[in-house]
């Protein structure tokens, strides 16, 4: 599972590399726990993969006839895999959430969304740099981006003076 910027916990499949619709796929969405159980998809299953809308790889069915003895039922975690906060699921909803607003995974995803082309379009700042800035404790929320100092950024690994100046 991964944790999104809103705290939603999203299950995904890690696959043996397979060529689907013109690309090699190694990960596929599993949507939510209900989808997984409705399709009887298990850990270590053989599955059918297609690209939804010819873009997003998703598992459309399991192949129980190929299921090995090591296949096991998947259940969502009861705590956030990143910060350890108990996971919640509202009655009648399919999504599970980490409710910790200080969860590092949520913060990282929020910053990545904020700096993306569809938002503030901060040239030169991508997920790797955002993670480095968080790990170096140079930022702790989105607003800290605007207080970055050249002398601090240039000290990050793989960040030279030219890249830091452009940022």
Three-state DSSP string of 31-81:
CCHHHHHHCCCEECCCEEEEEECCCEEEEEEECHHHCCCCCEECCCCCECC
DSSP state of 140: S
Taking residues 23-39, report their average pLDDT. 94
Q: Does 53 have pLDDT greater than 90?
A: no
Please state the pTM of the whole predicted model.
0.81
% of the chain residues with pLDDT over 90:
82
pLDDT of residue 52: 83
Q: What mean pLDDT comes out for the span 99-107?
A: 93
Mean pLDDT score, 113-129: 91
pLDDT for 124 equals: 85
Predicted confidence at residue 33, as pLDDT, reads 94
Structure letter (DSSP) for residue 82:
T
4 pLDDT band (50/70/90 cuts)?
very high
Q: Is the pLDDT score of 126 beyond 90?
A: no
- According to DSSP, residue 86 is labeled B
Q: Are 45 and 63 in contact (CB under 8 A)?
A: yes
Residue 158 pLDDT > 90, yes or no? Answer: no
Please check whether residue 6 is in contact with residue 34, taking contact to mean a CB–CB distance below 8 angstroms: no
Please give the mean pLDDT across all residues of the chain.
Answer: 93
pLDDT per position as a tens digit, 61-77: 999 999 999 999 999 99
Judged on CB neighbours under 10 Å (0-12, 13-18, 19+), 20 is middle
Beta strand pairing status for 96-98 and 72-73?
A: unpaired
> CA geometry: angle at 126 spanning 102 and 128, to 5°?
70
């Amino acid at each position: 599972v991964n944790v999104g910027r809103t705290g939603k916990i999203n299950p995904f499949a890690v696959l043996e590399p397979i060529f689907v619709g013109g690309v090699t796929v190694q990960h596929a969405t599993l949507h939510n726990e209900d989808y997984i159980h409705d399709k009887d998809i298990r850990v270590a299953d053989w599955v059918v993969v297609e690209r939804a809308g010819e873009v997003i790889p998703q598992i459309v069915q399991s192949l129980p006839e190929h299921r090995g003895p090591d296949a096991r039922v998947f259940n969502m975690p009861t705590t956030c895999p990143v910060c350890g906060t108990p996971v919640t699921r509202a009655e009648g909803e399919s999504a599970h959430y980490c409710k910790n607003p200080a969860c590092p995974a949520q913060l990282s995803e929020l910053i990545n969304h904020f700096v993306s082309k569809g938002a503030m379009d901060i040239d030169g700042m991508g997920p790797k740099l955002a993670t480095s800035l968080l790990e170096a404790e140079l930022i702790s929320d989105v607003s800290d981006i605007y207080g970055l100092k050249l002398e601090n950024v240039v000290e990050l690994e793989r960040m030279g003076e030219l890249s830091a100046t452009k940022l």
